[in-house]
Chains A and B, each alone.
Chain A
Amino acid sequence: GIQVEQSPPDLILQEGANSTLRCNFSDSVNNLQWFHQNPWGQLINLFYIPSGTKQNGRLSATTVATERYSLLYISSSQTTDSGVYFCAVNFNKFYFGSGTKLNVKP
């Protein structure tokens, strides 16, 4: 199956700081999605981004499909951004990475 690697595995930020999360994948895919898993375990879809760049408020994402990676940018982080961020790539089914656990401190 497709391998999905996320880095860093853990990240601690001070409120207001910026961060970049990375997702590498091993093969061409149909789709890539970024999710935020909140403390209650719910998966919140952030971006559908098979290629290119998208922005939604303080979050933006870029996927370079030819080089098989995607980046999630979080600017001016807030404590509510805490949780686990998953990258998932779609090749008939979703393959998830192991996630980046983000802790934003006040």
Chain B
Amino acid sequence: AQSVTQPDIHITVSEGASLELRCNYSYGATPYLFWYVQSPGQGLQLLLKYFSGDTLVQGIKGFEAEFKRSQSSFNLRKPSVHWSDAAEYFCAPKIGGSQGNLIFGKGTKLSVKP
């Protein structure tokens, strides 16, 4: 069955430190891959996406993600975290092609220490 795993439920980092949020998916083919961010009480905002080509993709707010086919992973990174990055982050593969359905991970809540 298709699934997506975000193994870290809650991560705390210091402001200015680097960040990596992990995401693994289980699917027969390479899906379209997305990362969304959700601030408290808000909807979901797209951070970045991977469809094909260069496996390192850049997104908004200084985030990037790297697709690794051999590991079925799509980890999100940021070199230097800002206090405003505190939010919940969701990895979401899209199964079934460009108009398939998003499958969401359970999310990783990021807290930022001053």
A and B form one complex: no
Where the two chains meet, the residues of A that have a C-beta atom closer than 8 Å to any C-beta of B are none
